[in-house]
């Protein structure tokens, strides 16, 4: 992708909602050069695609915006992974890859980790509660989700920061135009994360525990741990960890941002904390952290009256569907008092997010802590908020708060 096109993509991604509104008014589908894909922006059309995985394959779900340089790819070639993962798999392979994750993130497993999550949420707030100001993304939002998913997977707490950092660097490498030396540095960080995960796999194979890493090993191996098994397991774990912390980090950031941009709703939430679950659903609907995924047609199909050949790429915009005026009254209004409905922030159908309960619980704990302990929270007026230009984990770069 050339620099000019990437600059247009950046502009679109920082605030895609005006474009979504325009595209929903146009009959049929609209092709966007910036996304190199047909944009699917209406709720009904997004749901139709997600109901038909046999016609709309997930193989291109994680297609990067930027192809790393040969030097960066050479660094990545020395790491682990590069095998099929649940987000990009279809059919029987998808079911096989998804099953241990669903078991590992079961309601019972999530319930079991909640005391730890609550303890960590409180401890992180303790680090800044007396200061009168905080940059919430670095001090809290980037830390809690990694610690919680790390606990479920079985990571040593000392390894969590490096794994979280590697996840952010993987996203940068594939979705930001970086100079070659910076690409190489990012690739080295990704490989360091993969080596940490490979070490975990080997440790758990030798000494199994009641954790998700052991669950994954059991699902992949039948005794021996081969080099190919290690590649598969690191790919699986990397995908799971990135999905488990980047998306929740983004959701914490956007939720707090919009509550504080609407002070009356923040005050209502502080006065009536029983509204927290509804506030979480509204925040997820209103500014969806995972804006969408790509799909590719497996045969000629017609969608929204538009005829598509086999091999056509589509961008399935959850964020656009969640602002569809035909489904939500005052769709562009942030309102925590609206009756929650089945939005698409966590997907739909066979690829719906298996970690949605875990994300919601961390958001609940976050809002309980902040409304109870820091009801005077407000956005720092001298630090304007800039959104990260990405469709994958939409969130503020930084969130400076005062109280």
Q: Compute the radius of gyration of the chain from its Cα atoms.
A: 21
CA atoms within a 13 Å half-sphere pointing along the CA-CB vector of 49: 32
Homologous superfamily (CATH) for 3-402: Cytochrome P450 (1.10.630.10)
Q: Residue 183 corresponds to which tokens in the numbers above? A: 């690409």
CA dist., res. 396 & res. 21, Å (int): 22
Total Cβ atoms within 10 A of residue 4: 8
> What confidence score (pLDDT) does residue 123 get?
98
> What confidence score (pLDDT) does residue 1 get?
58
Which of 4, 173, 212, 151 has the alpha carbon at shortest distance from 75?
Answer: 173
> What confidence score (pLDDT) does residue 138 get?
96
The answer to whether the CB of 315 falls within 8 A of the CB of 390 is no
> What confidence score (pLDDT) does residue 67 get?
87
Total Cβ atoms within 10 A of residue 58: 22
What are the beta bridge partners of residue 303?
Answer: 306
The answer to whether the CB of 185 falls within 8 A of the CB of 170 is no
> What confidence score (pLDDT) does residue 75 get?
96
Could you list the mean pLDDT of each consecutive 10-residue stretch along the chain, which spans 403 residues?
78 92 96 94 98 96 87 95 88 90 89 97 98 97 96 95 93 88 96 97 96 92 92 91 89 98 98 97 95 96 98 97 96 94 92 93 98 97 91 92 97
> Which pTM was predicted?
0.94
């Amino acid at each position: 992708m050339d620099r000019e096109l990437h600059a247009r993509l950046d502009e679109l991604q920082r605030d895609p909602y005006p474009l979504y509104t325009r595209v929903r008014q146009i009959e049929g589908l609209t092709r966007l050069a910036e996304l190199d894909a047909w944009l699917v922006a209406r709720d009904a059309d997004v749901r139709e695609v997600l109901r038909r995985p046999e016609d709309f394959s997930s193989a291109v779900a994680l297609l990067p915006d930027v192809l790393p340089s040969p030097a960066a790819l050479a660094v990545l070639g020395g790491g682990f992974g590069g095998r099929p993962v649940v987000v990009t798999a279809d059919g029987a392979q998808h079911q096989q890859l998804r099953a241990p994750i669903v078991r590992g993130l079961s309601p019972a497993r999530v319930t079991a980790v909640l005391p730890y999550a609550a303890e960590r949420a409180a401890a992180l707030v303790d680090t800044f509660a007396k200061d009168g100001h905080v940059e919430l993304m670095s001090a809290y939002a980037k830390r809690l989700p990694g610690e919680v998913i790390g606990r479920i997977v079985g990571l040593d707490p000392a390894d969590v920061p490096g794994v979280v950092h590697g996840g952010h660097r993987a996203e940068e490498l594939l979705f930001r135009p970086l100079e070659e030396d910076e690409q190489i540095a990012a690739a080295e960080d990704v490989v360091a994360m993969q080596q940490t995960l490979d070490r975990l796999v080997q440790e758990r194979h030798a000494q199994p525990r009641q954790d998700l890493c052991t669950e994954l090993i059991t699902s992949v191996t039948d005794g021996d741990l081969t080099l190919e098994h290690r590649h598969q397991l690191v790919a699986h774990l990397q995908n799971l960890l990135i999905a488990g912390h980047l998306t929740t980090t983004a959701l914490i950031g956007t939720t707090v941002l919009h509550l504080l941009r609407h002070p009356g709703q923040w005050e209502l939430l502080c006065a009536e904390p029983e509204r927290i679950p509804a506030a979480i659903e509204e925040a997820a609907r209103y500014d969806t952290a995972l804006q969408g995924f790509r799909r590719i047609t497996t045969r000629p199909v017609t969608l929204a009256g538009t005829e598509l050949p086999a091999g056509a790429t589509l961008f399935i915009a959850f964020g656009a569907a969640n602002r569809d005026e035909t489904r939500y009254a005052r769709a562009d209004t942030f309102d925590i008092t609206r009756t929650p409905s089945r939005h698409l922030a966590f997907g739909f159908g066979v690829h719906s997010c298996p970690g949605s309960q875990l994300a919601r619980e961390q958001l609940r704990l976050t809002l309980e802590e902040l409304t109870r302990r820091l009801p005077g929270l407000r956005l720092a007026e001298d630090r304007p908020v800039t959104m990260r230009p990405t469709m994958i984990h939409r969130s503020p770069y930084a969130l400076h708060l005062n109280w």
